[in-house]
């Protein structure tokens, strides 16, 4: 009985320590704790939307708004991204002029690896995204890089996401390189900093403002963001990459958006994807 009591006390102290850390630190390199951030974010959404399962957050707003979900489920009966995935598969398997292909550039032939992206690349000292490596692969094989926002890059990325469906997101922040944690912190800071003429941070809409109307739209919760990209948006009428969405969102705050794949957007993706650790890849997705 004594042992049980001691164990319970120990667990309680450990849990309290984690909660305390999440509450009063994590804003500089010395104290930032990605795991505490992830737990705090999950707890936040659990208490905001107690009826929603954490695992369902990969479905964005449809995890927390029943009427939007009904429409989306009907849309998913004939997914609008289906043809793009097929085209992506063809593009992925079409050899470059030198006879090599995308499969030669990626681990496991590029199949079932989406859940590990983005990742910290120690040699390059930067965060690498999947789209970035698709283009690096092309350039290394004498091909021109693809445009970042839509078209072939989104289709190839969609096919790669498709092969990774249901795999748990697994973003690692290596402890032996403080630059990785700095990149995570930079992304976190970007997410929570207010900017633009409307003085809005990403968090204003996607944390505090999740499922609260902005005109006719309901912003999705941050938890689960990135899991379903690239995405087919009805507004676009086609597939688009995550950074295309970042630019649009950035612009919505009346900021001048940054360029695709710029360092801070990649760091933002690193931070956001880490928040989704344990959730599953469900890209490509369909959204309004």
In sequence order, which residues have a C-beta less than 8 Å from that of residue 253 and are 6 or more positions away?
195, 196, 197, 198, 199, 200, 201
Locate 72 and state its tokens.
């989306």
> Which residue's CB is nearer to other proteins, number 94 or number 197?
197
- Annotated binding residue 249: yes
What's the closest the beta carbon of residue 226 comes to other proteins, in angstroms? 18
Determine, following the binding rule CB under 8 A, whether residue 83 of this chain makes contact with other proteins: no
- Annotated binding residue 205: yes
Are the C-beta atoms of 257 and 250 separated by less than 8 Å? yes
Contact string 192-231 vs other proteins (x = CB under 8 A): xxxxxx-x-x-xx--xx-----------------------
Report the catalytic residues: 249
Determine, following the binding rule CB under 8 A, whether residue 264 of this chain makes contact with other proteins: yes
What's the closest the beta carbon of residue 264 comes to other proteins, in angstroms? 7
Burial class from Cβ neighbours inside 10 Å (0-12, 13-18, 19+) for residue 162 reads buried
> Which residue's CB is nearer to other proteins, number 33 or number 141?
33
What whole-number distance in Å separates Cα of residue 39 and Cα of residue 186? 19
What whole-number distance in Å separates Cα of residue 27 and Cα of residue 182? 11
Locate 282 and state its tokens.
């469900």
Contact string 43-72 vs other proteins (x = CB under 8 A): xx----------------------------
> Which residue's CB is nearer to other proteins, number 187 or number 285?
187
- Pick the binder of other proteins from 13, 27, 73, 278 (CB under 8 A): 27
CB count, 10 Å around CB of 151?
17
What's the closest the beta carbon of residue 203 comes to other proteins, in angstroms? 5
CB count, 10 Å around CB of 169?
23
Q: Which residues of 261-273 are buried (b: 16+ CB within 10 A; e: fewer)?
A: beeebbbbbbbbb
- Interface residues with other proteins (CB under 8 A) are 22-24, 26-27, 37, 40-41, 43-44, 188-189, 192-197, 199, 201, 203-204, 207-208, 251, 254-258, 264
* Residues making up the binding site for heme c: 105, 137, 202, 205-206, 249
């Amino acid at each position: 009985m004594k042992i049980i009591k001691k164990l319970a006390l120990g667990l309680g102290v450990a849990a309290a320590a984690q909660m305390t850390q999440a509450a009063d630190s994590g804003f500089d390199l010395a104290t930032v704790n990605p795991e505490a951030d992830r737990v705090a974010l999950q707890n936040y959404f659990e208490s905001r939307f107690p009826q929603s399962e954490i695992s369902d957050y990969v479905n964005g707003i449809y995890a927390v708004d029943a009427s939007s979900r009904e429409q989306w489920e009907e849309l998913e009966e004939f997914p609008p991204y289906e043809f793009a995935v097929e085209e992506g598969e063809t593009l992925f398997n079409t050899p470059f002029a030198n006879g090599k292909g995308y499969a030669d550039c990626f681990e496991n032939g590029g199949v079932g690896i989406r859940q590990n992206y983005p990742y910290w690349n120690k040699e390059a000292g930067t965060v690498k995204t999947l789209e970035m490596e698709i283009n690096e692969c092309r350039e290394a094989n004498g091909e021109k890089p693809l445009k970042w926002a839509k078209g072939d890059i989104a289709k190839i990325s969609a096919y790669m996401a498709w092969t990774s469906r249901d795999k748990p997101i697994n973003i690692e922040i290596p402890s032996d390189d403080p630059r990785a944690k700095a990149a995570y912190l930079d992304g976190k800071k970007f997410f929570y900093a207010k900017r633009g003429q409307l003085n809005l941070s990403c968090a204003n809409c996607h944390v505090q403002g999740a499922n609260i109307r902005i005109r006719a739209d309901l912003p999705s919760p941050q938890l689960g963001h990135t899991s379903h990209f690239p995405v087919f948006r009805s507004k676009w009428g086609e597939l688009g990459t995550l950074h295309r969405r970042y630019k649009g969102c950035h612009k919505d705050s009346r900021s001048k958006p940054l360029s695709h794949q710029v360092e801070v957007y990649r760091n933002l993706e690193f931070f956001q994807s880490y928040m989704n650790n344990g959730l599953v890849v469900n890209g490509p997705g369909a959204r309004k």
